[in-house]
Amino acid sequence: MMTTMPRSLILAAALAGLAFTGAARAAQIVVSNYGVAANGMPYAVAMEKGFFRDEGADVSGILSSSGGGTTIRNLLGGNLDYGEVDLAGTVAAIEQGNDLHIISDNVLTVGEFVWAVKPDSPIKSLKDFKGRKIGYTNPRSTSQALNILLVQTIGLTQADVEPVKVGGFGEQVVALNLGAIEVATLADPVWSKNSAKLRTVVRAADALPPLCNVIGVATGKAMAEHGDFLRAVLRARRKAVEFMYAHPDEAGDIVARVYDLDPAIARQAVRNLTTMAPGATLPYWGVGRFDIKGMDAMIAAQRGVGAYSGTPDWGKMIDRSFLADDLRKDY
């Protein structure tokens, strides 16, 4: 005999299903240079270890982009909730009226950068950079800004060296081998891929102070409508970062699969970035806590290459409410 469910129960079941669907809402996030650059490695770990799921964030995928401007356009145009992007691009976008907010300070140094030469190069130390051809990726890039900061540490100016735009980190290795440049500005994992064939002259971790590398950002709409998702993403990323420091080799193996790297190279890259240089005050991957001094320093560096002009109002741009309570006090 067929029985009929009362309409009130059908309606209640439908509403319950809608509520569950909303709570379990799957969403993508966007991370600058994910699958290529070191900043995004914790997200690979968080996905594979199930940290997003465990924390209640149903992250269906991680979109990559080629840089800050592209990431911000994807975040705004794709109706996405969370992105990881460079600081100067975010500040400029906010000042242009875009509804973006900085909710975490994710990578606190530029420790992935090294300046390398061919093994037989006469360049032995930073003081030998004077008059040399030094590669960088593109105008207004972080690598260009760091080159200026680096030579300034020994009293030189940009006019004392010969900057050469090469277009990428891999391209700099080629240019170095061809003699088009004499010093390559490289970043992990490209550096770890080529370290056996090149010689380090100086590491950013040894020569430069903490500089804000990338930050976590969200739209005002996401903050108002999907705050729990944002908090869960930040908790999951924190767990991934803590896992990477505790288990660098296992983390490296995960990165190798996602970034399509040789496991030995990925392990080396993760070890490089989880080992703090002597005298270092901050780690490379942070867990969300803000270092305002490092943010100011990166903004100053970006002014030096014309990537930004002005003075950010951090009080209006930063929202710490999505961080865990123990992370809301700045460094």
Closest CA to 115 of 139, 140, 67, 148: 148
Query: Looking at the predicted structure, is the pLDDT value of residue 237 above 90?
Result: yes
In a domain, 2, yes or no: no
In a domain, 316, yes or no: yes
In a domain, 10, yes or no: no
- The verdict on 117 and 261 lying in the same domain is no
Q: Which residue has the tokens 């710490």?
A: 320
In a domain, 7, yes or no: no
- The verdict on 219 and 87 lying in the same domain is yes
CATH number, position 120 = 3.40.190.10
Return the pLDDT at 14. 43
| pLDDT, average across residues 251-270 | 98
- The verdict on 273 and 235 lying in the same domain is yes
Return the pLDDT at 204. 96
- The verdict on 242 and 187 lying in the same domain is no
Torsions phi, psi for 48 (to 5 deg): -70, -35
Using pLDDT thresholds of 50, 70 and 90, give the confidence band for residue 4. Answer: very low
In a domain, 153, yes or no: yes
Return the pLDDT at 2. 39
Domain end position, chosen among 207, 239, 266 = 207
Return the pLDDT at 299. 96
Query: Looking at the predicted structure, is the pLDDT value of residue 12 above 90?
Result: no
In a domain, 314, yes or no: yes
In a domain, 294, yes or no: yes
- The verdict on 76 and 137 lying in the same domain is no
The total number of structural domains in the chain stands at 2
Q: What is the tens place of the pLDDT at every residue in 124-164?
A: 999 999 999 999 998 988 999 999 999 999 999 989 999 99
- The verdict on 254 and 286 lying in the same domain is yes
Give the pair of three-digit tokens for residue 127: 């003081």
Cβ neighbors of 63 (< 8 A, separation 6 or more) are: 28, 29, 30, 31, 34, 74, 78, 80
Return the pLDDT at 68. 60
Query: Looking at the predicted structure, is the pLDDT value of residue 22 above 80?
Result: no
Return the pLDDT at 156. 93
Closest CA to 137 of 67, 85, 72, 197: 67
In a domain, 96, yes or no: yes
Mean pLDDT of the chain: 91
- The verdict on 238 and 192 lying in the same domain is no
The CA distance from 95 to 329, in Å, is 25
Percent of the chain with pLDDT over 90: 81
- The verdict on 144 and 187 lying in the same domain is yes
Return the pLDDT at 76. 85
- The verdict on 105 and 122 lying in the same domain is no
Return the pLDDT at 136. 95
- The verdict on 174 and 130 lying in the same domain is yes
Residue type, position 120, single letter: D
Using pLDDT thresholds of 50, 70 and 90, give the confidence band for residue 20. Answer: very low
- The verdict on 215 and 322 lying in the same domain is yes
Strand partners, 200: 116
| pLDDT, average across residues 210-229 | 97
Domain range for 267: 25-109+211-327
In this structure, of 20-29, 93-102, 104-113, 280-289, the range with the lowest mean pLDDT score is 20-29
| pLDDT, average across residues 249-265 | 98
Return the pLDDT at 158. 87
Query: Looking at the predicted structure, is the pLDDT value of residue 250 above 50?
Result: yes
Return the pLDDT at 7. 43
Using pLDDT thresholds of 50, 70 and 90, give the confidence band for residue 70. Answer: confident
Query: Looking at the predicted structure, is the pLDDT value of residue 9 above 70?
Result: no
Query: Looking at the predicted structure, is the pLDDT value of residue 5 above 50?
Result: no
Return the pLDDT at 67. 62
Q: What is the tens place of the pLDDT at every residue in 261-320?
A: 999 999 999 999 999 988 899 999 999 999 999 999 999 999 988 888 899 999 999 999
Query: Looking at the predicted structure, is the pLDDT value of residue 18 above 60?
Result: no
- The verdict on 216 and 102 lying in the same domain is yes
Return the pLDDT at 66. 65
State the SS3 of the chain.
CCCCCCHHHHHHHHHHHHHHHHHCCCEEEEEECCCCCHHHHHHHHHHHCCHHHHHCCCEEEEEEECCHHHHHHHHHHCCCCEEEEEHHHHHHHHHCCCCEEEEEEEECCCCCEEEEECCCCCCCCHHHHCCCEEEECCCCCHHHHHHHHHHHCCCCCHHHCEEEECCCHHHHHHHHHHCCCCEEEEECCHHHHHCCCCEEEEEHHHHCCCCCCEEEEEEHHHHHHCHHHHHHHHHHHHHHHHHHHHCHHHHHHHHHHHHCCCHHHHHHHHHHHHCCCCCCCCCCEEEECCCHHHHHHHHHHHHHCCCCCCCCCHHHHECCCCCCHHHCCCC
**Pair 204, 272: CB distance under 8 Å:** no
